[in-house]
Structure 1
Amino acid sequence: MAAFLYKLGILAAQNRKKVLSGSLAVLIIAVSVGLGMGVHLNGEMTIPGTKSEEAMKVLKEEFSQGEGTEGGTIQVIFKAPDGQTLESESTQKMIAKTLKSISKDSEIASIVSPYEAGTISYKKEIGYAVITYKSEALQVTDASKELVLESVEKARKEGLQAELGGSVELSGLEIGGISEIIGIIAAFMILAITFTSLLAAGLPILTAVIGLGIGVMSVIIASNFIEMASFSLILAIMLGLAVGIDYGLFIISRYRQNLVEGKGVEESIAHANATAGSAVIFAGLTVIIALAGLSVTGIPFITVMGVAGAFTVLVAVIISVLVVPALLGFAGERIRPKSKTASIQDPPKVIEQSNRWGRTITKYPLPIALAGILLLGAISLPALHLQTGLPDKGSKSIETTERRGYDLIAEGFGPGMNGPLAIILKAESIDDAQETFAKVGKNLSELPNVAMATPPVSNATGKVAMVTIIPGTDPKSEKTTELVHSIRDKAATIKQQDQVEVMVTGATAVNIDISEKLNEALPRFAVLIVGLALILLMMVFRSVLVPIKAVLGYLLTLTATLGFVVFVVQDGNLAKFFDIPAAGPVLNFLPILTAGILFGLAMDYEVFLVSRMREEFNHSGNAKNAVLSGLKNSGSVVTAAGLIMIAVFASFIFVEDVMIKSMGLALAFGILFDAFIVRLTIVPAVMTLMGRSAWYLPKWLGRILPNIDVEGESIEKEPKSKKEIAS
């Protein structure tokens, strides 16, 4: 690999104009096609085969109001002015006026007022109308939404509180914009401080933007052919930007070190591409495999999300080993470190192979390792009571009309009204079916935590009925989850005694099933990537203990990250600081997504740091000097890379959407824990304690494992004449 990348680096530098113009041409084509086709992120977060999904199919088949898709709905929730009720004449006129204004939209199939449907609270102060559209919720136009928003705003000005809810999303997901800009600016500042050169700082940003543009536009194009949730694009943006900058940083940093050591420009480029480029390819490969490995969960929207992220990382890797060398060919000597004035004619200088942090760690390895492990262990503790779910409108900011509508429904009708359960009853025969349905419905209504249960409503055949159960708690509550399980547990007895099949569905039940399915898939996925890590790292480092240490460090990072997310998102600590509107369950796909992404990124830092240690150990045979050299030569680069990753991911913490916020929080602090506590503290301390045994590999295993040259050993052994021929 190193020999190939060495030659590729020289060719890219010598043909820099063609490489750069070619990459820009690909970017322009991708942008043109992507913008021309448009974004079609309409995939749903569902898992085929779950009990609630099967019940939902029955519900749609048996209670369909005709052919076509189920229309999206908007609830308009009203609260009467102080001193009045919804039955007051003036309030009725305002509500009628508001609904009449909304009814001008030709895309509306029906509007049912609170007076027609009887959807008025016991105290007559709160009620809601239901607007049903001809098209699905995701297809309702912006013009239709705008008309509703304008109409309720007029009602508010007249003194009537009017808020919105329903299946139609009124506040779109933030994709692209200020978060990315903040991340790029922060990354540029970190690079400028690291390199003390604006030109050098700009190169990784430029290559990352090229790679990000090609990768993200490719995902947008794919969204026209594949069902894809909006989070797929968000994840692609996060990862493409973060790894794109980091991979460019690693190669450029090694190039500058080569210049200081006395190598010429082309030789420095080729050597940087052979060594740091090899590490970039291997590190990128681990991220790609980890993300693509999400497909083992068997969950479609997670699989698509992983593949989209993996593709943007692949593009970032290709751009790094091809376009970065070309840009370095343009930059030449202009980005040589200013503190090192040696020219290419000067003999190589002897560089001090240690720094203060390295000397401190190698002097006190045991207490430092224990301190790091205990710190992350303490942060991990809240993960023991992890509760996952899908944020709903109650998780939004109080500034949004959806959150205010959610609160009004809870105030007027009870918290369970925001998450009703649809119970499907299927009789084996229609003989006495109605009496049996009534009996079953009564039995279910007597279960704990049932606030209300409607009488069974039969379909046209009389063989299927639906009962709506309102829980006594909100959709995110553990008691609501327990109620769903209680109904399913009772279903077996009902089936045996009454020959009626009982199924539970509705948005709340679907979310519960998705969360539980994802939680079940997490251990299987973790075992897969841990096993993969052990094999790959053994091949790279030719060691048994280094991979084991790397995997244990990753597991410590993962548990600490989940513990911190639970501490903030679920328990509500520091919620105001991170602008989290309300404490609630952790996003259900966040643990498995975090496990995959952090695995790849943790292995990035492991490879960049430990490969430099191995390179020195191969040269000197001194294990302690290898640790010192790794921290001296790669420590500052890993520090800068970690800070860049944190800056990019943290820029997504302060967006409005709670899902994106929790993803940014988990990844930013996951990188903080891994880069600075695990890789730069615990790893060198443990490597010092292991000494030469860290690099032990049984001879029989060494013969089996392929030798992956990440440190550029083949380049060092290659005769000089061959290098000259290659150039």
Structure 2
Amino acid sequence: MAGTSRPQSRGTRWAAPNAHTFAAHGQVRAVADLFKPAAGNLAMLSDMNVNIAATPSPPSPPANRRPAGMLARLARLSIRHPVVVLVVALAAALLSGVIGASAGDRMGSGGLTDPHAPSERAQQILADRFDAGEPQLVLLAEADSTVDDPEAVAAGTALTDQIATVEGVAGVDSYWSPGRPSALRSSDGRIGLLLLRMAGDDEAAEATAARVLRHLGADNGPLAVQVTGSAQLDREVDAQAETDLTRAELLTAPLTLLVLVLVFGSAVAATLPLLIGVLSILGTLAALWAITTVTDVSVFSLNLATALGLGLAIDYSLFLITRYREELAAGQAVADAIEAAMRTAGRTILFSAITVALALSALLVFPGYFLRSFAYAGIAVSTLTAAATLLVLPALLALAGPRINALNLRPRLRRRRTPQRPADDRWHRLATAVMRRPVVVTLTTVTVLAALAAPFTQVEFGINDHRVLPKDAPGYQASEKLRTRFDTQETTATAIVLDNPVDDPQLDAYATTVSALPHVTRVDTALGSYSNGQILAPPTPASARFRAADGSTWLSAVTDVEPTSGSGTRLVRQIRDLPAPAPALVTGPAATLVDTRDAIADRLPWALGIVIITTAVLLFALTGSLLIPVQAIVLSTISLTATFGALVYVFQDGNLRNLLGDFTPTGWIDVTAPVLMFCVAYGLAMDYEVFLISRIKEEYDHSGDTTTAIATGLQRTGRLVTAAALLIAIVLAALATSGITYLKVLGGGLTLAVLVDAFIIRALLVPALMRLLGSANWWAPKRLHRLHTRLRIRH
């Protein structure tokens, strides 16, 4: 693993490289120094190259004295044929760039719902049998005076006729159409609505929306037209996500390069992780393009793929390059140094990539393609990043040779060759201070994390609406008018499909019952309109649209509450619980939210089981211990719960908004966000767990003393884990600059999760708990111990 040094014999102890970071002279200062300002962190990073580049570590045995495992053979392939490897990698990158360039154009922004949910089946029946359904596009036509003025009526009628002829528009319900309800007029009488239903799927609806906008033109007489609806909001979200992705890349690349230069102290070494990141991102884009040919993929997966690709490339390259430079500083030849780095750091990288891929694969159990898309992206990016690191990076190192330290910004550091004693290392002192009072450290740290997690007990879940966009977005502004200037939620009405023939008396009784429910303002049916448990208006010619030729029918229940509110979702459940004259399928935004929540809740145990079981098996394979996997799972869960609490405090409750740029608090968190964040953050947490624990295990195998192994393991990995965390936090924080609130949640939450895990969990809780467990850390039943011995992975 990166940053380790292999002793030549059991009687020889080698001093670990010093790391100028977070000094700890006693337990209190050790804990307090973890929260130094960011400037101190960068100063620490700039000093880290003292040890990465110059402090010798004990040389690993020459490659020809060890049996060649898979990683050793890969190293030898890259060493012997570096130019061939790089030419193949360049060709693959160019081909991937050409293929993946159009990946975003083939992706959608939907996919939240289960395609087999009752709400989705109802939507399909409405479209197929009744030529009806939820409008995907809503036009708000605002007049200078009122929409009933003769000039406004003429303009509104002309606009209705014009829009109805646009290719892809399946139907138009307009305030100016004969027999349409007055509810399509705003409470002040100045805005009239046109509700457009589109033919085809979400992608076709977005294309139709673009044609409608072209037909609107700039001159609509006395009417000023604004556009909203799911098709328009999807278009704006797609465009914003693409803009944010470009901006994040422009922000991240130079800042990351600067920090890498501070970490390595060498411009040559600093550029290599970025090259690996480019390779993995291009490969992932091509993989996602290929996946779009067989299934739907969310456009949001591009943002995660870019952030994870660059972040993991930095992590893996940092581990491998650091070990390689240590081997060079210890006097190894270039080929032997690369092979030694591959046997140690390469093994850690392999375990880490498998862990991240398996953690994200848990998202495949969910029915909507939105969450599954992140699984596709995560599996592809972790696999390709590991492949690029283990195949291409050794070839680059072979060509660079000792010149890896070229363009060293602090040449004086190369003259420093004397290893420091472990007691002089700040990470060693931190570990010693923590283990001196492990109970106090554990209780204090858990209390702090519990306080951060407390707001999560008040979490409310919803589905993103127009407020996910910036306030200056056209769709946001139109939707706000729709939400605030109309007495009822006409465009988000709940539809009830009665899937068998129903006679008039049965329909009348059922509509009367539905109209008497709380928050139902009107129920439109084939028999007329109902309100407050009685008939409100007789049928009109437009009422015929509610009944099909086979006698089946549907009802439209207009409410006075937002569909994503608690009242909205309770109303859906009340309607579904009512006795109905035929099988009743309920749809609409509120029903979609209910079905999405239920689908996630049903699949969540399976997803958690996949994540927990697979990571436990991998950690057991790495350590042979039964308790270390349990400890890792518990600590990661505690860390993530604290992160979720912070998200509720910021995004649900609207606190500290200025830190992340302005956004609109909705009073809830998107129902998919915690699930996605859990899988991504859990995979990254296991990345650092693998690196730290594998080093501690190596030291324990050498000394047989758990306390010494913990102190030495943290000494030799602490600086790298925190440096990697800071670097990947920079990449993830770029997501938080997005104009889309969902990406802010994802970026801000993952950044916090990574930093908490590296600076609190790995630096404090892991050494404290391992000290309390002592030799029990390495316990496993005899049968499992024998199994681990037989299955031990050669590297």
Query: How much has 1:630 moved relative to structure 2?
Result: 2.0
Aligned pair partner of 1:536 in 609, 615, 618: 618
Corresponding residue for residue 149 of structure 2:
88
Structure 1 residues 410 and 32: CA distance shift in structure 2, 3 A = closer
- Cα distance in 2, alignment partners of residues 546 and 460 from structure 1: 63
Aligned pair partner of 1:307 in 369, 376, 379: 376
Corresponding residue for residue 11 of structure 1:
77
Identity %: 27
Aligned pair partner of 2:560 in 468, 472, 475: 472
Corresponding residue for residue 694 of structure 1:
777
- Cα distance in 2, alignment partners of residues 555 and 329 from structure 1: 41
Query: How much has 1:299 moved relative to structure 2?
Result: 4.8
Query: How much has 1:288 moved relative to structure 2?
Result: 1.0
Corresponding residue for residue 314 of structure 2:
245
- Cα distance in 1, alignment partners of residues 421 and 697 from structure 2: 18
- Cα distance in 2, alignment partners of residues 462 and 108 from structure 1: 25
TM-score using structure 2 length: 0.81
- Cα distance in 2, alignment partners of residues 401 and 567 from structure 1: 28
Unaligned runs of 5+ in 1: 716-727
Corresponding residue for residue 60 of structure 2:
none
Structure 1 residues 220 and 299: CA distance shift in structure 2, 3 A = same
Aligned pair partner of 2:137 in 57, 74, 77: 74
Alignment of structure 1 residues 467-506 onto 2, 5 Å: 467-490=555-578, 494-495=579-580, 499-506=581-588
- Cα distance in 2, alignment partners of residues 223 and 514 from structure 1: 23
Query: How much has 1:608 moved relative to structure 2?
Result: 0.7
Query: How much has 1:214 moved relative to structure 2?
Result: 1.0
Maintained 8 Å contact 1:410/1:417? no
Structure 1 residues 514 and 191: CA distance shift in structure 2, 3 A = same
Corresponding residue for residue 748 of structure 2:
665
Alignment of structure 1 residues 486-565 onto 2, 5 Å: 486-490=574-578, 494-495=579-580, 499-565=581-647
Corresponding residue for residue 8 of structure 2:
none
- Cα distance in 1, alignment partners of residues 123 and 330 from structure 2: 67
Corresponding residue for residue 130 of structure 1:
195
- Cα distance in 1, alignment partners of residues 214 and 139 from structure 2: 10
Q: Does 1:58 align with 2:58?
A: no
**Segment of structure 1 superposing worse, 179-188 or 474-483:** 179-188
Query: How much has 1:478 moved relative to structure 2?
Result: 0.9
- Cα distance in 2, alignment partners of residues 172 and 482 from structure 1: 29
User: Match of 2:195, SS?
Assistant: strand
Q: Does 1:570 align with 2:652?
A: yes
Q: 2:602 corresponds to which letter in structure 1? A: E
Q: 1:649 corresponds to which letter in structure 2? A: L
Aligned pair partner of 2:700 in 593, 597, 617: 617
- Cα distance in 2, alignment partners of residues 410 and 263 from structure 1: 69
Q: Does 1:171 align with 2:236?
A: yes
Maintained 8 Å contact 2:186/2:192? yes
Q: Does 1:25 align with 2:88?
A: no
Query: How much has 1:195 moved relative to structure 2?
Result: 0.9
Query: How much has 1:290 moved relative to structure 2?
Result: 1.6
Q: Does 1:45 align with 2:112?
A: yes
Maintained 8 Å contact 1:243/1:645? yes
Aligned pair partner of 1:372 in 445, 452, 455: 445
Query: How much has 1:99 moved relative to structure 2?
Result: 6.3
Unaligned runs of 5+ in 2: 1-66, 527-542
Maintained 8 Å contact 1:558/1:598? yes
Structure 1 residues 335 and 708: CA distance shift in structure 2, 3 A = farther
Q: 2:553 corresponds to which letter in structure 1? A: A
- Cα distance in 2, alignment partners of residues 412 and 111 from structure 1: 21
Structure 1 residues 595 and 160: CA distance shift in structure 2, 3 A = same
**Segment of structure 1 superposing worse, 466-475 or 226-235:** 226-235
**Segment of structure 1 superposing worse, 602-611 or 515-524:** 515-524
Q: Does 1:437 align with 2:525?
A: no
- Cα distance in 2, alignment partners of residues 288 and 554 from structure 1: 17
Query: How much has 1:688 moved relative to structure 2?
Result: 2.9
User: Match of 1:115, SS?
Assistant: coil
- Cα distance in 2, alignment partners of residues 104 and 484 from structure 1: 35
Structure 1 residues 172 and 527: CA distance shift in structure 2, 3 A = closer
TM-score using structure 1 length: 0.88
- Cα distance in 1, alignment partners of residues 510 and 134 from structure 2: 30
Query: How much has 1:251 moved relative to structure 2?
Result: 0.8
Corresponding residue for residue 687 of structure 2:
604
Alignment of structure 1 residues 168-207 onto 2, 5 Å: 168-169=231-232, 170-173=235-238, 174-175=241-242, 176-207=245-276
Structure 1 residues 103 and 415: CA distance shift in structure 2, 3 A = closer
- Cα distance in 2, alignment partners of residues 460 and 151 from structure 1: 33
Instruction: Deviation per CA, 1:305-334: give whole Å up to 9, x if none.
Output: 313321221111111111111111122212
- Cα distance in 1, alignment partners of residues 203 and 368 from structure 2: 21
Corresponding residue for residue 720 of structure 1:
none
User: Match of 1:362, SS?
Assistant: helix
Structure 1 residues 143 and 424: CA distance shift in structure 2, 3 A = closer
- Cα distance in 1, alignment partners of residues 679 and 225 from structure 2: 43
- Cα distance in 1, alignment partners of residues 134 and 121 from structure 2: 20
Q: Does 1:326 align with 2:326?
A: no
Corresponding residue for residue 717 of structure 2:
634
Q: 2:73 corresponds to which letter in structure 1? A: K
Structure 1 residues 262 and 692: CA distance shift in structure 2, 3 A = farther
- Cα distance in 1, alignment partners of residues 488 and 421 from structure 2: 67
Query: How much has 1:144 moved relative to structure 2?
Result: 5.9
Maintained 8 Å contact 2:102/2:289? no
Instruction: Deviation per CA, 1:408-441: give whole Å up to 9, x if none.
Output: 22223236335211111244x55xx122112101
User: Match of 1:413, SS?
Assistant: coil
- Cα distance in 2, alignment partners of residues 144 and 504 from structure 1: 26
Q: 2:213 corresponds to which letter in structure 1? A: V
- For these two proteins, the number of residue pairs brought into alignment is 692
Corresponding residue for residue 529 of structure 2:
none
User: Match of 2:111, SS?
Assistant: coil
Maintained 8 Å contact 1:353/1:628? no
User: Match of 1:577, SS?
Assistant: helix
- Cα distance in 1, alignment partners of residues 152 and 736 from structure 2: 41
Structure 1 residues 706 and 405: CA distance shift in structure 2, 3 A = farther
Corresponding residue for residue 114 of structure 1:
175
- Cα distance in 1, alignment partners of residues 614 and 168 from structure 2: 52
